[in-house]
A and B are shown apart, each in its own frame.
Chain A
Amino acid sequence: MDVKEKILIIVFYGASILSAAITLIILGFMVVLSFPIFSEGLFFNILTKPWSPDQGLFGLGPIIVGTLCIALLALIISFPVSLGCSFFVGILNPKGLGRHFKKFVELMTAIPTVIYGFVGIFLLVPLVREIFLKGSGLCILSASIMLAILISPTMILFFVQSFKTVPQNYLNAVDALGGNIAQKFFYVILPNTRKGIMTGIILSFGRAVGDTLIALMISGNSVAFPGSVLDSARTLTAQIALLIAADFESIEFKTLFVCGICLYIITSSGVLMARYSTKKKRHHI
């Protein structure tokens, strides 16, 4: 092995170790900085008490619930719509229209989230307010709908990509048996793309959980436990963005890192769950 090759290997090894390490380093960093909270026995309080810094209560429970509600609802809204879109783009593709449609979807990924937030405030929030005649319209539902729009391109592009991986063989077989396009979709395409679809969902979920601006602008940012989708709620990301604590030593400031850890756990458990579920089912497809 000559020197060049050795250097290459070291560089590539280094790069992969570095990128793998960064995720762990970030976690470690957050754990260390939020450590006083765990050591002072405040951890339980953080999960159960409400958020009221003036009274010395730093509960993140409502915020965690708010985050999950908004992200999951966004996923529930976005998934069927995205699946339908990707079916249209990747399979029906009438007169090659799908290709143009896909370009629009790709373009959507380039729109900054603040624009979605703006559109949400001026179009969606008043609409939700008028339809449900309750509250200000700044609520979980509005934020979820907007987030659903934000994450749909990720899902659509992933789904379309995975539809392409279905072997032509199988598609031919369905055609030759006189299967229509819907039968082809449900019987052959969906079961064979379970993994790709799952990956699309995880990535979108991560995006929905991690997005800051839309929730910040539209969800109303109340710190109470939400009772319905028309209630206002605050997400972990918004909490980090909103919190202005000048004293770096205060508990309030340290809870920021707990927020970070929670976000970390939510998204990684999503990934782990999805991995587990695709692994288990692979033999049956």
Chain B
Amino acid sequence: MKPNIKMCTKNLDFYYNKFQALYNISLDFHECKATALIGPSGCGKSTYLKCLNRMNDLIPKTKVIGEVKLNNEIIYDSSLDVVSLRRKVGMVFQKPNPFPKTIFENVAYGPKINGLKNKAKLTEIVEKSLKQAAIWDEVKDRLNQNALELSGGQQQRLCIARALAVNPEVLLMDEPASALDPIATQKIEELIEKLKSKLTIIIVTHNMQQASRVSDRTAFFYMGKLIEVNDTDTLFTNPALKQTEDYITGRFG
């Protein structure tokens, strides 16, 4: 069976000023699967991730060449509304970054800026998102507490709930567990496992065990180039290239 391609890039180059950070990257993301992007620091995987929801637009003097498509539509099109793109392609950052507001306010923010004012509907969405992010039981009695009083792991799941509240189709995760302890990390990984039944997940990670645990497909980046992409099992057990093998067996990087 041919997988449904939710998002893809074709011959994507990316420049910071004159420095070329990405070279000719063509990669498909299958619908309702988790794809892990691995590679050593500075290999361009985070930059690549940010091309997918046009977060790089905000950095001055950057340039994108090539194609990025979501649902077969080009997203680097002047007619496309970046705001609506980012509502479809949510993002979770490396460091948990809840707003210094209440837990409720944090999750309700996305729907609110979409124009939803109905309090009952908002409450419903907040509850649903917090449940989806597997944090509802821990916070349901203190929704009006400041989000910064939560632990790091809870904050990160709150940020995931915040991203989920706008019903994204794709969720980008930039090393979402690298600032967390092993138990909190495990919770995030379980969450990813659960979430991918409903949405497409693209996760950048330094941790190869994590990539092998949570992802269905893995792409290995090195020096701004896509070296190899395959089913996670295949890539980790039987890599096609020596370079990939060296990296996943810890011989470099």
Max chain A C-beta neighbours (<10 A), residue from B55, B87, B99, B114: B99
Given A173-B93, A178-B113, A180-B83, A188:B166 Cβ within 8 A: no
Any A CB within 8 A of the CB of B6: no
Task: Tell whether, in the assembled complex, residue B87 and residue A173 are in contact, meaning their CB atoms are under 8 Å apart.
Answer: no
Residue B58, interface by CB 8 Å:
yes
| Structural contact, B163 and A176, CB atoms closer than 8 A | yes
Say which residue of B95, B100, B101, B166 sits within 8 Å of A178 (CB atoms). B166
Asked if B85 is at the interface of the complex by the 8 Å CB criterion, the answer is yes
List of A residues within 8 angstroms of B176 by Cβ = none
Distance in Å: Cβ of B190 to nearest Cβ of chain A:
23
List the B side residues contacting A285 at CB < 8 Å.
100-101
Verify if B125 is at the interface (C-beta below 8 Å from A): no
CB of A187 within 8 A of CB of B110, answer no
For B93, list chain A residues within 8 Å (CB): 169, 172-173, 176
Instruction: Name the one of A96, A170, A179, A283 contacting B97, with C-beta atoms under 8 angstroms.
Output: A170
Question: Is the CB–CB distance between A177 and B85 below 8 Å?
Answer: no
Check if A165 is an interface residue, CB within 8 A of chain B: no
Contact with A along B83-126 (1 / 0, CB 8 A): 11111001101010111110000000110011000000000000
Q: Number of contact residues on A: which range applies?
A: 20 to 34
- Map CB proximity to B onto A251-285 as digits: 1 under 8 Å, 0 otherwise: 00000000000000000000000000000000101
- Interface of A, secondary structure class, is helix
With A178-B86, A179-B113 already in contact, the answer to whether A173 and B159 are too (CB < 8 A) is: yes
- Whether the pair B113, A183 counts as a contact (CB closer than 8 A) is yes
Q: Please state if B84 and A178 are interface contacts (CB–CB under 8 Å).
A: yes
Question: In the complex, how many angstroms separate the beta carbon of A156 from the nearest chain B beta carbon?
Answer: 22
Given contacts A172-B55, A173-B162, is CB(A178)–CB(B97) below 8 Å? no
Chain B residue numbers with a CB within 8 Å of A188 are 99
Measured between beta carbons, the chain A residues less than 8 angstroms from B53 are: 176
Residue of B nearest to A179 (CB): B113
Within 8 A of B (CB), among A174-202: 174-180, 183, 187-188, 191-192
For B96, give the chain A residue with the smallest CB separation.
A169
Q: Which residue of the partner chain, among B90, B113, B166, contacts A187 with CB atoms under 8 Å?
A: B113
Q: How far is the CB of A17 from chain B (nearest CB, A)?
A: 37
Look across to chain A and name the residue whose beta carbon is closest to the beta carbon of B58: A175
Min CB distance B11 to A, Å, is: 26
Decide yes or no: A176 and B86 within 8 Å by CB, A169-B93, A187-B109, A187-B113 being known contacts: yes
Q: A169-B93, A170-B97, A170-B99 are in contact. Are A177 and B109 (CB under 8 A)?
A: yes
Residues of B within 8 A of A180 (CB): 83, 113
Alpha-carbon distance A174/B166, docked complex (angstroms): 12
Complex CA–CA separation, A127 to B73 (angstroms): 57
A261 to B141, CA, bound (A): 53
Q: A residues within 8 A CB of B113?
A: 177-180, 183, 187
The complex places the Cα of A176 from the Cα of B164 at a distance, in Å, of 12
- Contact in complex: B87, A178 (CB < 8 Å): yes
Among the interface residues A174, A177, A192, which one has the most CB atoms of the partner chain B within 10 A?
A177
Q: Are B100 and A176 in contact (CB under 8 A)?
A: no
Residues of B within 8 A of A187 (CB): 99, 109, 113
Interface positions of A from 208 to 252, Cβ below 8 Å from B? none
Nearest 9 pairs between A and B by C-beta? A178-B86, A169-B97, A176-B91, A178-B87, A178-B83, A177-B110, A183-B113, A173-B97, A179-B113
Q: Which B residues form the contact surface with A (CB < 8 A)?
A: 53, 55, 58, 60, 82-87, 90-91, 93, 95, 97-101, 109-110, 113-114, 146, 159, 162-163, 166
Q: A96-B60, A173-B99, A179-B113 are in contact. List 13 more A-B contacts (CB 8 A).
A: A167-B97, A172-B55, A173-B162, A174-B109, A175-B58, A176-B55, A176-B163, A177-B87, A177-B113, A177-B162, A178-B83, A178-B86, A178-B166
Q: What are 28 A-B contacts defined by CB distance under 8 Å? A: A96-B60, A169-B93, A169-B97, A170-B97, A172-B97, A173-B98, A175-B55, A176-B55, A176-B90, A176-B91, A176-B93, A177-B86, A177-B87, A177-B90, A177-B110, A177-B113, A177-B162, A178-B84, A178-B87, A178-B110, A179-B109, A179-B113, A180-B113, A187-B99, A187-B109, A187-B113, A191-B100, A191-B101
